[in-house]
Chain A
Amino acid sequence: MQDLSLLFHGFAVVLSPFNVGLMLLGIVLGVIIGVLPGLGAANGIAILLPLTFTMPPTSAIIMLSCIYWGALFGGAIASILFNIPGEPWSVATTFDGYPLAQQGRAGEALTASFTSSFVGAFVAVVMITFLAPIIARFALQFGPPEYFAVYLLTFCSFVGMGKGSPAKILVSMMIGFALSTVGIDIVTGQLRMTFGFTSLLKGFDFLIAVIGLFGIGEILLSMEEGLAFQGAAARINPKVVLETWKKLPRYWMTFIRSTIIGCWMGITPGGATPASFMSYGAAKKFSKDGDRFGTGVLEGVVAPETAAHAAGTSALLPMITLGIPGSPTAAVLLGGLLIWGLQPGPLLFAEKPDFVWGLIASMYLGNVAGLIVVLALVPLFAGILRIPFSIIAPVIVVICGIGAYTVNNSMHDIWFMLGFGVIGYVFKKLNYPLAPLVLALVLGNAAENAFRQAMLMSQGSLGILWSNGLVGSISTLALIMLFWPLISKLLRNVRPARPDKLAEQQPVD
């Protein structure tokens, strides 16, 4: 296998002392980001992105992806010990994790959660290792119509698989597209939507949107509550870890089921949050102790954590192979690649094998290192949560401001960030999802170009989206996804479905 030898070469790249150091630094920073409410993986990476501009791209992506793994691990700590989900995908972890902590079994819950995170991510990385080269080779044949169809599918999936009002998902997505058209039209060179403001010439950078929507918006939301932490004590000793590990193989079926759900939801842009809820729901349904879920069952921690990590990791598969991120965080990583002059997509595998395989190798090592770091440093990270919010909040605002400035060294961007913060706050409260907005803003230009080129090829006929079997089936699938809310309504009229209680507690991501 040529790919495997490339992977081992990747390991050699990653294992230089400099890169291992960055990996550990990334994980520690990531866990801190994950633990703190208000600093999520997406905006955390967006803020830290400028720090990596001076590094070689491979080292930079290793550090950034490790921040991502760290954030995925860290979300669970706040959920289990404090009943405050540090990240949206760890909401489902609080259902059984916090009761376990209250019973004095926090160590067990944390070990189970970290281990299942690790398993989910590991399986997803193995999948990426084998599928990525195949998809990349396949995608080399894609032309503009195929790309536009894939974009269409990505965005229609939000409507089909998202929760909440389809109209709101559409509005949010289209605002992203609309904002992406602001500035100079790269095809005709005309200025668009600038309304005479020179500050709009360069358009809206999506990193600014991410920092504002998720960072400032989240701080405003948290301020409403006036956060008061009441945490359980966390101590993990090797004995608890070993005993928990002995119990875990019993849940092999949950592991397999959750990993499959997670990988599927990660590749399609369902994302980690719905994956964790679906997996929790499925585990509750199929488990022998289904009725005891919610009172502190280890299986109830295993299921959402496995799925969230599998989804979070597999979101990177479409990002590196097609240039289409599966989640806002993957979108930020994609933004990073573009800044370093790397065009994600099938050609990346042919042109920069060092980079791609270094990234994949760092996923393996990053997760192993992550597991060890979090198990060893839990008390330290839990301590961070005890820092009062009136210190954390201004510091996060300062960090967001610095992050927004460093993206383009522009003061305008900090003001835009504040504006996006207010939008994020209002949208979140009215259940407009933010992920479609961000992804549309990232992919807007690429999607528009693919659309224009496809339309030029066909002289303006939409028929090109059905011109061959491949593009036709992708487009058809996209339309099914788009109209899924209507289709499922029709189906429900024929056969009434049972009400989904879990869905009501689920946040719109």
Chain B
Amino acid sequence: MDDATHRGEEERSVISTRRMELVVAALLFLFGAVFMYQSYELGFRWAVEGPQSGFFPFYVALIICAASLAVLIGALRGKVGKDDESFVARGQLKQVLSVLIPAGVYILGIELIGTYVASVIYIALFMRILGKYSWLKSVAISVVICVLFFFMFEVWFQVPLYKGTWNLTGWTGY
């Protein structure tokens, strides 16, 4: 594949703004409907002692449904030419996912090996892979930053952070 077609591939739209608008409005409608059903189950009427638990959420959910329906209809009736712009291009989505997915893995890492160790690995890998820094530079900067955080939170402000299922920083005494 030569460079030009590669670039074309990267700029190709994954989903149009109009379609995304429809999907989001439909999801929001669903969200409202689920909340309405829950409020109905809780009781949304007026009891002897006053409004029931579902009273307020019921009307809130009703407005969500009505307003998302309005957005949906608006998007359906919208001018095709203007609203057919790309919501996100392939290359852009790749960039976004390249942050989002590692962030999810990082949070999983916090659960398992604790905030500090996970952060060192996350920052270093991010710099190495997305920033194209050398291994030495990536690891050095990342360690310095996390040691700084350690002192700031654990020592100076005395706010303990999550140490993970397997506590790897237990030897520090904090």
| A contacts, CB < 8 Å to B | 50-51, 53-54, 165, 167-168, 170-171, 174-175, 177-178, 181, 185, 187-188, 190, 192-193, 195, 216, 219-220, 223-224, 226, 388, 390-391, 393-395, 397-398, 401-402, 405-406, 409, 411, 414-415, 418, 421-422, 425-426, 429-430, 448, 451-452, 455-456, 460
List 22 A-B pairs, Cβ < 8 Å.
Answer: A167-B70, A171-B28, A174-B64, A174-B67, A188-B53, A193-B57, A195-B38, A224-B88, A226-B95, A390-B127, A394-B127, A398-B119, A398-B146, A401-B119, A402-B153, A411-B111, A415-B107, A418-B107, A422-B100, A452-B56, A455-B51, A456-B51
CA distance A429 to B93 in the complex (A): 13
CA distance A455 to B50 in the complex (A): 8
Could you tell me the distance in whole angstroms from the C-beta of A144 to the nearest C-beta in chain B? 12
Contacts of A456 in B (CB 8 A): 50-51
A398 nearest in chain B by CB position: B119
B88-110 Cβ-contact flags toward A at 8 Å (1 or 0): 10001001101110011011001
Query: Is A174 in contact with B60, judged by CB distance below 8 angstroms?
Result: yes
In the complex with contacts A174-B67, A216-B103, A452-B50 CB distance below 8 A: yes
Could you tell me the distance in whole angstroms from the C-beta of B22 to the nearest C-beta in chain A? 11
Q: Quick check: is B4 within 8 A (CB to CB) of the other chain?
A: no
Query: Is B133 in contact with A390, judged by CB distance below 8 angstroms?
Result: yes
Beyond contacts A51-B157, A398-B123: 15 other A-B pairs, Cβ-Cβ < 8 A, are A167-B67, A190-B42, A219-B99, A220-B99, A223-B98, A224-B92, A390-B126, A391-B123, A393-B99, A398-B122, A406-B159, A406-B161, A411-B110, A418-B103, A426-B24
A181 nearest in chain B by CB position: B57
In the complex with contacts A181-B60, A425-B96, A411-B162 CB distance below 8 A: yes
**Secondary structure of the B contact surface, majority rule:** helix
B34-67 Cβ-contact flags toward A at 8 Å (1 or 0): 0100100010001000111111110011011001
Q: Quick check: is B134 within 8 A (CB to CB) of the other chain?
A: no
Query: Is B130 in contact with A395, judged by CB distance below 8 angstroms?
Result: no
CA distance A341 to B35 in the complex (A): 31
Contacts of A390 in B (CB 8 A): 126-127, 130-133
Contacts of A165 in B (CB 8 A): 71, 74
B135-160 Cβ-contact flags toward A at 8 Å (1 or 0): 00000010001100100010001111
Could you tell me the distance in whole angstroms from the C-beta of B129 to the nearest C-beta in chain A? 9
Query: Is A401 in contact with B107, judged by CB distance below 8 angstroms?
Result: yes
Q: How large is the interface on B (under 10, 10 to 19, 20 to 34, 35 or more residues)?
A: 35 or more
Q: Quick check: is B166 within 8 A (CB to CB) of the other chain?
A: no
Q: State which of A190, A226, A430 has its C-beta within 8 Å of the C-beta of B17.
A: A430
Q: Please give me the 4 A-B residue pairs with the lowest Cβ-Cβ distance, nearest first.
A: A390-B131, A394-B126, A167-B70, A170-B67
In the complex with contacts A174-B60, A219-B99, A430-B21 CB distance below 8 A: yes
CA distance A187 to B56 in the complex (A): 12
Could you tell me the distance in whole angstroms from the C-beta of B68 to the nearest C-beta in chain A? 5
Contacts of B64 in A (CB 8 A): 171, 174-175, 178
Query: Is B71 in contact with A405, judged by CB distance below 8 angstroms?
Result: no
In the complex with contacts A51-B159, A181-B56, A185-B53, A168-B96 CB distance below 8 A: no
